[in-house]
Amino acid sequence: MSANAHAADLDALLAGLNEPQREAVVHGDGPLLILAGAGSGKTRVLTHRIAYLVGTGQARPDEILAITFTNKAAQEMRERVELLVGRRTRAMWVMTFHAACARILRADAHRLGYTRQFTIYDQADARRLVKRAIDELDVDPKRFTPGAIHHEISDAKNKLRDAEAYAQMVGSFFEQTVADVYKLYEAELHRMNAMDFDDLLVRTVNVLELFPEVRRRYAEAFRHVLVDEYQDTNHVQYRLLQLLTGGGADGRLADYGHRNLVVVGDDSQSIYGFRGADIRNILDFEDSYPDATVVKLEQNYRSTQTVLDAANAVIRNNRGQREKELWTDLGVGDPIKVRELDDEHAEARYVAGEIERLVDEGVSRSEIAVFYRTNAQSRVLEDTLVRAQIGYQVIGGTKFYERAEIKDAIAYLTMLVNPQDVVSFTRIANSPRRGIGQTSLSRVISWANTAGITIWDAALDPDSVPGLGTAARKAFHRFMGAMRILGERAAANPPVGELLREVLAESGYLEALEAERTIEAQGRIENLEELVNVAAEYDLSAENSDEGPSLAGFLQQIALVADADGRRDDEGLVTLMTLHNAKGLEYPIVFMIGLEEGVFPHQRAIEEGGLEEERRLAYVGITRAQRDLYLTYARARAVFGARSYAARSRFVDEVPMGLTDRSEQPAHGVGSVRARATTWGSPSPNLSPLGSGPIPGGGWDASGGSAGGGTELRLGDDVFHAAFGDGVVTGVEAGGIVVIRFSRDGSERKLVADLAPIEKR
DNA sequence: CAGATCATCGTTTTT
DNA sequence: CGATGATCTG
């Protein structure tokens, strides 16, 4: 390629970028934080920067490590980089945190006592193992659920606290219990040559910290590290990035350190705190990297100004956010439609009716998305859409790889490479039913433990297992006979697709399903066929990779993939999903439903001080809308079978009236914040047969505004309370009620403005 | 050991 | 209300 062509390429890379985008792309060495608002073109910036680094010769392709959180994002980034630099992309590491760690560990985990065939346990496997530890320790499972304990362990791991460190700082009975379980759980995992998702990160950090030569190798290999969705990183990931960019075990910069770390994120879209993400990583980036360059991307290329104003207004109610104001030159757009409905059925009918109207106007169903807070909310909506014959797809829910039959098949394959994997063994021993019950299984497992042999070897020789009945012994002989044949086959390294076929046949799994003769079983068989296809595809694609196809490689790959059935864009289907699943997506028309206190924000978030994260979730939802945004809520809703009533979500009220089709409040502080018939703007008479009929009847609303006089508190006001101290107004509700969050303990309280001992500061 | 009935308990979940 | 798990009985 000539020098001219190069220059032309570089020009093309920068063309069409706005000023801050360009600054981020051409940034030289050293840490860079890109604060990228929703829809501000961050992927464009990342991909163009990678291309620019390669194009200018600042980096070779194999010196680039680009990290994302999802496989989908990684794939998209890889594709887009490939469009810019072509085949050279292949040498780059463009993958998820977990995939990158798994790759490092396959090469170096032996230093920690694992084989390269280690098993990766997903959440469910991990929880099962936690449960076994709980049973083992005779912990009362009533008081402490496996889920809660696992969550706590996961939390500790995310903070790089190992079992020992955790035990050092227990302060309650619960924590003592967790400490005990944690210790046993870790021992078991290691003994089984297995890692959970958290381990992939933690063990990588361990390897890098313990072995300077490994640390140096990777830090020298990756001269440029780029991270997407940085606001969702946790502490392990923070540490990992430090080590990969040349931080030493002591935290100081090594001589080979380069600190070429580019992170992209938006603190306003941090919605995974409940999973250990630490928003401080992005908020305090400059504390960790004082010489960091910071670039803000605030121009939005996705939404109307009305939508952006709404998002800006809502997020402004959070404290401690990075200052940021989204803007666009796409125009003002239409007002946000706010609708109050009688109950969730009326809400669903309204959404369905509106969709029909839009489709009549020429909108494609695939341009429409409906977001809700919890999965349970999709049910009513689905019923209604089915009746209205509106095609839809639900994103999320049970994932392909979480289906029982798929996990069973994978467990069979896993046993063939990791004979120590008791969790997988437990899963398949009696699936299909072959007369191996809980008791016999436990006997074999504990025999393996006492004899110090693998579970595979213990089962292979059931006659040596003490206390095992004749029938059980026979069952194990038959089962392991099949496994042995499969093991020999696997040793010959056949195509994974073929091996899987044999597993399904030899194990009797397929036969058992066929014998069921139910529609459900038929569906499972089809899923298994799909898995065989996935394996065959792997065989093909791994053919020309550096390692070549292998069973272990296949297992590792699919362990890190969430679902095989991704969403389809061009099918003319309305898309339904939780707000969490909506991040990173965009739709011309967006419905956010169930905007009620207790639903969204979720009750538990209200109780446990998680309001800011809920608000960020609202921000994410709003900023998905390109053109039209609907906010709906129901006066009543069935919760756990019982009918319950809730106030409209504070998030609705945080959207300025003027941006919505509600009319202005009659007078400041007088009358109701709550809607009444007259407050609904633009009458929409064009409701379809499925519509809810004329929108809300008035009259039910009895609340009055703050009863005149008194202190006028507004959102964001700093206040002082005689008993609770300093706080900030985070909500203003009907009836003169204000929501105040107190800085002393972070608690959020609802107070009557006129009665509570509050003064404005 | 397996199916069946009973009881419990309800977020979100990139990997 | 409905899904999921624990305990009971054949």
**CA-to-CA distance for A212 and A706, rounded, in angstroms?**
65
pLDDT at A543: 86
> Do A205 and A98 share a structural domain?
yes
Residue A476, strand partner residues: none
> Do A286 and A213 share a structural domain?
yes
Q: Which two tokens stand for residue A353?
A: 């009716």
pLDDT at A546: 74
Q: Does the residue A424 lie in any domain?
A: no
Q: Which of A173, A192, A211 is the last residue of a domain?
A: A192
**CA-to-CA distance for A555 and A547, rounded, in angstroms?**
14
Choice among A228, A278, A539, A653 that is catalytic: A228
CA of A667 to C1' of B8 (A): 49
Q: What is the pLDDT of residues A611-633, one digit of tens each?
A: 999 999 999 999 999 999 999 99
> Do A100 and A26 share a structural domain?
yes
CA of A551 to C1' of B1 (A): 34
Examine the residue annotation and report whether A229 is marked as an active-site residue of this protein.
yes
CB neighbours of residue A521 within 10 Å: 15
Q: Which two tokens stand for residue A662?
A: 């509600």
CA of A465 to C1' of B12 (A): 45
Residue numbers belonging to the annotated binding site of A for ATP: 36-43
Kindly write down the DSSP assignment for every residue of A434-486, as one continuous string: -S--HHHHHHHHHHHHHHT--HHHHHH-GGGSTT--HHHHHHHHHHHHHHHHH
Q: What are the residue ranges in chain A where pLDDT is below 50?
A: 1-3, 665-711
Reduced 3-state DSSP string for A286-322: HHHCCCCEEEEECECCCCCHHHHHHHHHHHCCCCCCC
**A135: which nucleotide lies closest, measuring CA to C1'?**
C6
CA of A144 to C1' of C7 (A): 19
Residue at token pair 């036969």: A511
CB neighbours of residue A667 within 10 Å: 8
> Do A206 and A187 share a structural domain?
no
Q: Which two tokens stand for residue A41?
A: 């073109």
Contact A277, A231 (CB under 8 A): yes
Choice among A624, A627, A662, A741 that is catalytic: A624
Examine the residue annotation and report whether A305 is marked as an active-site residue of this protein.
no
Number of domains in chain A: 4
Alpha-carbon separation of residue A238 from A134, A256, A644 (angstroms): 31, 19, 43
> Do A219 and A291 share a structural domain?
yes
> Do A164 and A90 share a structural domain?
no
Q: Does the residue A124 lie in any domain?
A: yes
**A436: which nucleotide lies closest, measuring CA to C1'?**
B1
Residue A274 Cβ < 7 Å to strand B: yes
Examine the residue annotation and report whether A624 is marked as an active-site residue of this protein.
yes
CATH number at residue A373: 3.40.50.300
**A434: which nucleotide lies closest, measuring CA to C1'?**
B1
Residue A720, strand partner residues: A726, A759
Peptide bond into A656 cis (omega under 30): no
Q: Which residue's alpha carbon is at the shortest distance from the C1' of C2?
A: A640
* CB-to-strand B under 7 Å, chain A 90-149: 96, 98-99, 122-123, 142
Choice among A63, A125, A196, A229 that is catalytic: A229
Residue A732, strand partner residues: A738
Q: Which of A247, A266, A297 is the last residue of a domain?
A: A297
Q: Does the residue A172 lie in any domain?
A: yes
Residue A249 Cβ < 7 Å to strand C: no
> What residues have CB less than 8 Å from A389, skipping those under 6 apart?
none
Q: Which of A131, A159, A192 is the last residue of a domain?
A: A192
CA of A726 to C1' of B8 (A): 41
Contact A406, A626 (CB under 8 A): no
> Do A102 and A16 share a structural domain?
yes
pLDDT at A683: 32
Examine the residue annotation and report whether A454 is marked as an active-site residue of this protein.
no
CA of A18 to C1' of B1 (A): 69
Contacts of A187-190 with CB under 8 Å at 24 or more apart are: A188/A129, A188/A132, A188/A133, A188/A422, A189/A121, A189/A129, A190/A113, A190/A114
Nucleotides of B under 7 A from a protein CB: 1-3, 9-15
Kindly write down the DSSP assignment for every residue of A553-602, as one continuous string: HHHHHHHT---SS---SSS--EEEEEHHHHTT--EEEEEE---BTBTTTB
Between β-strands A337-341 and A625-634, what pairing exists: parallel, antiparallel or unpaired?
parallel
**A638: which nucleotide lies closest, measuring CA to C1'?**
C1
Q: Does the residue A433 lie in any domain?
A: no
> Do A284 and A141 share a structural domain?
no
Contact A280, A302 (CB under 8 A): no
* CB-to-strand B under 7 Å, chain A 369-428: 373-376, 396, 399
> Do A236 and A87 share a structural domain?
yes
Q: Does the residue A366 lie in any domain?
A: yes
Examine the residue annotation and report whether A653 is marked as an active-site residue of this protein.
no
Residue at token pair 């978030």: A605
Nearest to A690 by CA among A388, A380, A345: A388
Contact A118, A109 (CB under 8 A): yes
> Do A93 and A236 share a structural domain?
yes
pLDDT at A754: 58
CA of A520 to C1' of B5 (A): 22
> Do A188 and A133 share a structural domain?
yes
- Total H helices, total E strands in chain A: 30, 21
**A146: which nucleotide lies closest, measuring CA to C1'?**
C5
Q: Does the residue A655 lie in any domain?
A: no
Choice among A43, A231, A328, A414 that is catalytic: A43
* CB-to-strand B under 7 Å, chain A 210-229: 229
Q: Does the residue A496 lie in any domain?
A: no
Nucleotides of C under 7 A from a protein CB: 1-2, 6
> Do A100 and A125 share a structural domain?
no
Domain with A56, as residue range(s), is: 3-106+201-297
CA of A377 to C1' of C9 (A): 38
Q: Does the residue A36 lie in any domain?
A: yes
Q: Which two tokens stand for residue A536?
A: 């065959």
Examine the residue annotation and report whether A42 is marked as an active-site residue of this protein.
yes
Residue A640 Cβ < 7 Å to strand C: yes
Name residue A362's amino acid: G
